[in-house]
Amino acid sequence: MILKNKIEPEVNWQDIDTVLLDMDGTLLDKHFDDYFWEEYVPEVYAKQNKISIFTAEEELLAKYKEVEGHLQWTDLDFWSEQLDLDIEELKEEIKHMINVHPYVPEFLDYCRSMDKKIMLVTNAHPKTLKIKMAKTKLTDYFDEIICADEIGLAKEQDGFWEKLSEKYSFDKNRTLLADDNDAVLESGAKYGIKCLIFISKSSSMQPVVHSPKFPSIIFFKELMDGCSA
């Protein structure tokens, strides 16, 4: 459902010490991931197995749904084994499609200028992270870069944020979390993270969809212009 009315964010940066940022759909254009899993992999899978693209899409969708919301969903080694494809190599083949969302470097500079601790927290597999950081050159912006694989849980799962906080100390009452996944924000809310921001346009090829539950932004520019300094 596309919501025309959005919940406006109210961020007082004096109350924020730590900024937790998702990668795919939040900092990076999710069009790459959508195209990769929904079009490119089915095409290769269909050719390899000598089946129609329609059959390939049906088979893969069923496999995807079985592990959605769990670490296997983003595990390149898992999918390479399941599909008998070199998923890492396939990502390398189309890495030219990886793009940073508008205003992301400016926002990261903005947070850095206020001496905020910036942490990239992603469900992406370490091999995917390596490919995307090499392409986008964003690595140096972050104080910490954490893959959910390191924590042992996906961000949506109960216990993730507690384990993250134990390993990488941050005060949930002075933390901002931005993500394009409502389930992740709900998990963060359950843990008690104070400031939660939903990214309404995760893909450049998809319409804006605001969250019915959380403050929403289309671009990070909104948190630089319309906030309390």
Query: What secondary structure, in 3-state letters, does 81-113 show?
Result: HHHCCCHHHHHHHCHHHCCECCCHHHHHHHHHH
- Whether residue 118 lies inside any domain: the answer is yes
- Whether residue 1 lies inside any domain: the answer is no
Contact in structure between 148 and 42 (CB atoms under 8 Å): no
Domain final position from 96, 123, 140:
96
The set of residues, in sequence order, having a beta carbon less than 8 Å from that of 37 and lying 6+ positions away, is 60, 64
Count the residues in the chain.
229
18 Cα distance to chain centroid: 17
Amino acid 170 reads F
Radius of gyration from C-alpha coordinates of the chain? 18
Packing angle of the helix pair 53-67, 41-49 (nearest 10 deg): 120
**Are 134 and 155 members of one domain?**
yes
Q: What is the DSSP letter of 74?
A: G
Domain final position from 48, 70, 96:
96
**Are 74 and 103 members of one domain?**
no
Among 164, 171, 133, which residue's Cα sits nearest to residue 146?
164
Total domains, the chain: 2
Give the separation between CA 89 and CA 169, rounded to whole angstroms. Answer: 35
Q: Residue 73: which domain range?
A: 32-96
**Are 40 and 89 members of one domain?**
yes
Q: What torsion do the CA atoms of 84, 85, 87, 92 make, to the nearest 10 degrees?
A: 160
- Whether residue 144 lies inside any domain: the answer is yes
Domain final position from 64, 96, 128:
96
Burial of residue 169 (CB within 10 Å: 0-12, 13-18, 19+) is: exposed
pLDDT tens digit at each of 229 positions of the chain? 455 678 999 999 999 999 999 999 999 999 999 999 999 999 999 999 999 999 999 999 999 999 988 899 999 999 999 999 999 999 999 999 999 999 999 999 999 999 999 999 999 999 999 999 999 999 999 999 999 999 999 999 999 999 999 999 999 999 999 999 999 999 999 999 999 999 999 999 999 999 999 999 999 999 996 554 4
- Whether residue 216 lies inside any domain: the answer is yes
Tokens of 228: 């309390």
- Whether residue 184 lies inside any domain: the answer is yes
Residue 15 annotated among the catalytic residues of the structure: yes
Tell me how crowded residue 211 is: count the other CB atoms within 10 A of its CB. Answer: 21
**Are 115 and 58 members of one domain?**
no
Is the pTM higher than 0.85? yes
CATH number at residue 158: 3.40.50.1000
| Type and span of the H or E element at 20 | strand 18-21
> Which of the following is catalytic: 15, 77, 158, 171?
15
| Type and span of the H or E element at 144 | strand 144-147
118 Cα distance to chain centroid: 15
